Amino acid sequence: MVTERSNEDREVGLLEALWRYKWSSLLLIVLAGLAGGLATVYVFTSVEATAKFAVTDPRSTTFLRQGVSSDSSYIAYTSQRAAFTESAGVLDKARQLLAAEQAMQIGLEDLRKAVEAKPGTNGGIVEVTVTAKTDRSAAQIANAVVAAYQMLTEADAQREQQKLLKSVRSTRARIEAELKRAPARSTTAVTLGEALVQLQLKEGDAAIDLAQYGSGVRFVDQANPLRVTPSQAPKNAGIGLAVGLLLAIVIAFLRATNPIATAQRVTTGTGQRQRTSKTPAAAPPPAPAPSLDEEQEDDVTAVYDRDKLLGYVARSKPGENGVSVDAGTGSSSSQH
């Protein structure tokens, strides 16, 4: 017996299915919208703040050139300064500044994850991007990293100057000692006097270099702590509602067209269709017992058939096949 759906069940539309299960569909849509909004607030809430600074070209100095002699080497130098901005020393100094000035406690590893420094598209620019929970904290961290970079770079330049000055002063002291021992107006005294002048000029140039190089930064574009990034919660909640609506339509349509839940039809042997019923079909009534007249009629028919057969045999030739039939009695005898 073959079953198939009725035309009404096969033609269930999307809107009809959605309306049939409207309350469960509405609950699913609302939950999806709430999930999108709450995920934005508690999981995907992160904003970025960027601070920029231009590194000082060391070619403008005499003793702090650091091997920079061309434009390509200056680009490489900028990349090195960007890597230095992300170093542990700079980040640890920034952490100390945040604790002292902003009362913000943050770990070094958290700073490593939040801070990204890279060279800008233009030469000599370093961009410091910080990801945090709020705009204010992101901007404060970015500005603290730039300030820490300036402090440590200036400290490094001062150490280099101190090394240079120490060497110059040591050489000057030795020349002055030799100059005292040299005869007056001699060639040696003149040469030592010229060398002493050169050392004095070198010492002055070192002071000028330090003043020009300073913190290694020409200018700083700080991040704005008052900037407010628009919330993405309404947008993501709308996306959640749209996704929930699609899921509700699909689920409602699948429920409406589920072959187990819908009515089925069966095809009988004659080709007629009828709906199946959950109640078992009633057993057919027992056939009525034959009456006495019907039994006698059956017996008469049987006797009639027997007499007809015997009459046919009696008309046969006597003794055919060694059989003789008595027409009166209907009995037969064999001749041997």
Q: In this predicted structure, what is the pLDDT of residue 230?
A: 64
89 or 199, greater pLDDT: 89
- How sure is the predictor about 142, in pLDDT bands with cuts at 50, 70 and 90? very high
As given in the structure block, the two tokens for residue 200 are 């004095």
Angstrom distance (rounded) from CA 208 to CA 216? 14
Instruction: Tell which residue, 283, 265, 146, 112, has the closest CA to residue 216.
Output: 146
What's the mean pLDDT in 190-218? 83
Complete DSSP assignment for 141-168: HHHHHHHHHHHHHHHHHHHHHHHHHHHH
In this predicted structure, what is the pLDDT of residue 34?
Answer: 82
User: Is residue 269 very low, low, confident or very high in pLDDT (cuts 50, 70, 90)?
Assistant: very low
| pLDDT in the model for residue 250 | 85
pTM above 0.75, yes or no: no
Which residues lie across from 219 on neighbouring strands?
54
Supply the pLDDT for residue 99. 92
AA identity, residue 322:
G
Of the ranges 22-26, 177-181, 301-305, which one carries the lowest mean pLDDT score? 301-305
Short-list 263, 262, 253, CA closest to 12:
253
Task: Give the separation between CA 176 and CA 192, rounded to whole angstroms.
Answer: 8
- pLDDT one-digit tens code per residue, 148-188: 999 999 998 888 888 888 888 888 888 888 878 888 778 88
User: Are 198 and 192 within 8 A, CB to CB?
Assistant: no
pLDDT of residue 51: 94
Question: Using 50, 70 and 90 to split pLDDT, how confident is the model at 266?
Answer: very low
Stretch 221-246: mean pLDDT? 80
Alpha-carbon gap, residue 101 to 105, rounded angstroms: 11
Write out pLDDT tens, residues 45-80.
678 899 999 998 888 887 777 778 788 888 889 999
CA 5 to each of CA 19, 20, 67, 274, 307: distance values in angstroms, whole numbers, following the listed order: 21, 19, 85, 11, 62
